[in-house]
Amino acid sequence: MAGHYRVAVSGAQVGQPEVKLGIIPGAGGTQRLPRLAGVAKAVEMCATGNPIKGKEALQFGIVDRLIEGDLLVGAVAFAREIANQPAPKTRERLDKLGTPVQNAPIFAAAREAAQIKQRGLMAPLAAIDAVEAATRLPFHEGCEVERKLFTACLFSDQSKALIHIFFGEREVAKIPDVPKETPTLPVKTAAVVGAGTMGGGIAMVLANAGIPVLLKDADQAALDRGLATIQKNYATSVKRGRLTQQFVDERLKLIMPTLGYDGFATVDMVVEAVFEGMALKQQVFKELDRFCKLGAILASNTSTLNIDEIASATSRPEAVIGTHFFSPANIMRLLEIVRGQATSKEVIATCMQLSKKLGKVGVLVGNCRGFVANRMFHPYIREAMFLVEEGASVEAVDKALYDFGMAMGPLATGDLAGIDVGWRIRREYQHLEKPGIRQPLAADRLYEMGRYGQKTGAGWYRYDENRRAISDAGIAELISRWATEAGIPQRYISPEEIVERCAYALVNAGARILEEGYALRAVDIDIIYINGFGFPAYRGGPMWHADTVGLKKVHDRICEFNRQHGELWEPAPLLTKLAKEGKTFADFSLEHMAVA
Ligand code: NAI
């Protein structure tokens, strides 16, 4: 931008992406862009970090010519054309900087948008301040303001966390015993079994990547329902401008509904998404074993069941893997890839590669109950429920975690996922819990009252016809009565304690997972939590957050919770060890990967 003129190939994109790493454009970027492109465009580009296409860059004066054909030939021709004209210095230009009266609403709107769409992030606001400085101060003074803001962002915890996540997304693709050169299998065609919430979404994801997909359900009514939901979801995407009608029409043609196994003999991959239950899953896999060609990948979308047990129903456990999508599957970026004992390296490498093609971030995890994502989510949401039973209001718990940066409070999440779902999971695994260990009380009562959450119009909250949450004073009173009857003392709980209890429950569970080797690195857990559960990226994920707070401090607090609340808060041995050694989860992961 400091050059006299700029040319670009017509396919070029230009942008100021720094805010995505928690910093702002430096080296005068925030001072020169408004001089070239005008204040409104510059503020938008610097605050959002989103690039623009060459044509728009030309229109806004960021480039002076788009070159079709050979760049060098075109650039030289342009240089000859302007050779005898004055060479303008960007820094001296004032014509597009506007007046304070013109600019005030632009900055106000940009700040408001940043506070909503980039909630909690400091870099976008700093970028807006820097552009504002360009409009108010001489160039050199504006650069000085930019430098100060840049430095403050660069040394912030936020930029360290965002940079950690940026590299982490690349890091998770590295699997020590499945090197880059591992051969992969072609996935040109696929099938999905089960056309429910997840199966329908997964079929859309495959079709969106151009992969023709058979969609099988057990009966016509379920299949029709599934297809209607897919059509509705696509229609919403068109309405919101995310997809074009033409794209949707093409994709819909790729989804072929079926009730039988015709066509399964030729598909390269099947994703099973039938009801959660071992007997049913084994039955389906037995059938897949019979109908699918050798070499086909047989994947399960199970969220909790043992992949090895599912694989044992087939004659080819090496072809069986977990591909755990998150709801809604066509939106959420995370794909947890679950490795069974026998899963072949080719199958793992193929699924990791496929995740990219599907626009997902694939993270490989081991086969433990709930895998990584749900194994950690369980203690997190349980702690939120305990807090409510100890006297914190539903709203206070959700607000504390929302303010911490979570996309949604845990109890609102519970209402969305279904209180009945949580109840069923607790029942199914009850036999594995130690007798006498504290269990959520109010959630079970809500279930008994038929308050399943959003789907029944009431759960922790009440819901209006637009599914907007409304506080329910009646429920607050009931919870306090149930808790008092159960001998749980009622007290005020600060937002800080709410956040610590819930976030450290994640950290403690994550430490066990790491120690047991079900996640390869701490950053894998961070990527899972940011992409699957809306953990704030600017805190770097739960494990990075703990490293940032300091493991000694986190450990001390967990020991205190252990004294107050008992066994559920026993610190993970790895956490105790690292805290004593003054190390971090990141240190542990580095050492661990070096050995691997
Ligand atoms: P769902 O109840 O919406 O859909 C299940 C579908 O499977 C139904 O349409 C049913 O008719 C069909 N089905 C049942 N038996 C079948 C058979 N033998 N052959 C063909 N189709 C059959 O269930 P949902 O929520 O889609 O869950 C499916 C799987 O995905 C489960 O394993 C669940 O644990 C997992 N999962 C669910 C998530 C969620 O948020 N709902 C998130 C991630 C995983």
What is the Å distance from ligand 1's center to 534 Cα? 23
**Statement: residue 336 has pLDDT above 90:** yes
Question: Residue 440 — pLDDT band, cuts 50, 70, 90?
Answer: very high
Do 147 and 200 sit in the same domain of this protein? no
Question: Residue 572 — pLDDT band, cuts 50, 70, 90?
Answer: very high
CATH number at residue 259: 3.40.50.720
Structure-block tokens of residue 44 = 């938008």
Please indicate, yes or no, if residue 179 is contained in any of the structural domains. no
Do 224 and 358 sit in the same domain of this protein? yes
Q: Which residue has the tokens 């990226």?
A: 537
Question: Residue 224 — pLDDT band, cuts 50, 70, 90?
Answer: very high
What is the Å distance from ligand 1's center to 272 Cα? 8
Dist CA 401 CA 393 (whole Å): 13
Please indicate, yes or no, if residue 182 is contained in any of the structural domains. no
Q: What is the pLDDT of residue 500?
A: 98
**Statement: residue 388 has pLDDT above 90:** yes
CATH number at residue 123: 3.90.226.10
197 within ligand 1 shell (Cβ under 6 A): yes
Q: What is the pLDDT of residues 495-524, one digit of tens each?
A: 999 999 999 999 999 999 999 999 999 999
Dist CA 589 CA 165 (whole Å): 15
Do 443 and 488 sit in the same domain of this protein? yes
327 within ligand 1 shell (Cβ under 6 A): yes
Please indicate, yes or no, if residue 422 is contained in any of the structural domains. yes
What is the Å distance from ligand 1's center to 239 Cα? 27
Residues 6+ apart with CB under 8 A from 494: none
Which residue, 27, 2, 15, 1, is CA-closest to 150?
27
Q: What is the mean pLDDT of residues 437-465?
A: 94
Burial of 260 (C-beta count, 10 Å sphere; 0-12/13-18/19+): exposed
Mean pLDDT over each residue of the chain, to the nearest integer: 96
Last residue of a domain, one of 325, 348, 365: 365
Contact of 261 with 291, CB cutoff 8 Å: yes
Q: What is the pLDDT of residue 332?
A: 93
Do 439 and 412 sit in the same domain of this protein? yes
Last residue of a domain, one of 365, 389, 406: 365
Contact of 535 with 190, CB cutoff 8 Å: no
Please indicate, yes or no, if residue 184 is contained in any of the structural domains. no
Min mean pLDDT across 144-158, 271-285, 413-427 is at 413-427
Q: What is the pLDDT of residue 417?
A: 87
**Statement: residue 22 has pLDDT above 90:** yes
Mutate to test the pocket of ligand 1, among 198, 290, 365 (most ligand atoms within 8 A of CB): 198
Do 141 and 290 sit in the same domain of this protein? no
Do 536 and 580 sit in the same domain of this protein? yes
416 within ligand 1 shell (Cβ under 6 A): no
What is the Å distance from ligand 1's center to 213 Cα? 17
Do 108 and 249 sit in the same domain of this protein? no
Query: Which alpha helices (DSSP H) does 118-214 contain, by range?
Result: 123-136, 139-154, 157-171, 197-208
Do 356 and 423 sit in the same domain of this protein? no
Number of domains in the chain: 3
Do 101 and 144 sit in the same domain of this protein? yes
Q: What is the pLDDT of residues 77-88, one digit of tens each?
A: 999 999 999 888
Q: What is the pLDDT of residue 209?
A: 97
Last residue of a domain, one of 128, 155, 182: 155
**Statement: residue 595 has pLDDT above 80:** no
Q: What is the pLDDT of residues 78-120, one digit of tens each?
A: 999 999 998 889 999 999 999 999 999 999 999 999 999 999 9
Do 17 and 74 sit in the same domain of this protein? yes
Q: What is the pLDDT of residue 8?
A: 97
Catalytic (active-site) positions: 324
Please indicate, yes or no, if residue 542 is contained in any of the structural domains. yes
Q: Which residue has the tokens 């760049």?
A: 71
Domain holding 141, by residue range, is: 7-155
Q: What is the pLDDT of residue 428?
A: 78
Q: What is the pLDDT of residues 181-211, one digit of tens each?
A: 999 999 999 999 999 999 999 999 999 999 9
Please indicate, yes or no, if residue 530 is contained in any of the structural domains. yes
- Ligand 1 atom nearest to CA at 276: 32
Q: What is the pLDDT of residue 581?
A: 97
Percent above pLDDT 70 for the chain: 100
Q: What is the pLDDT of residue 592?
A: 85
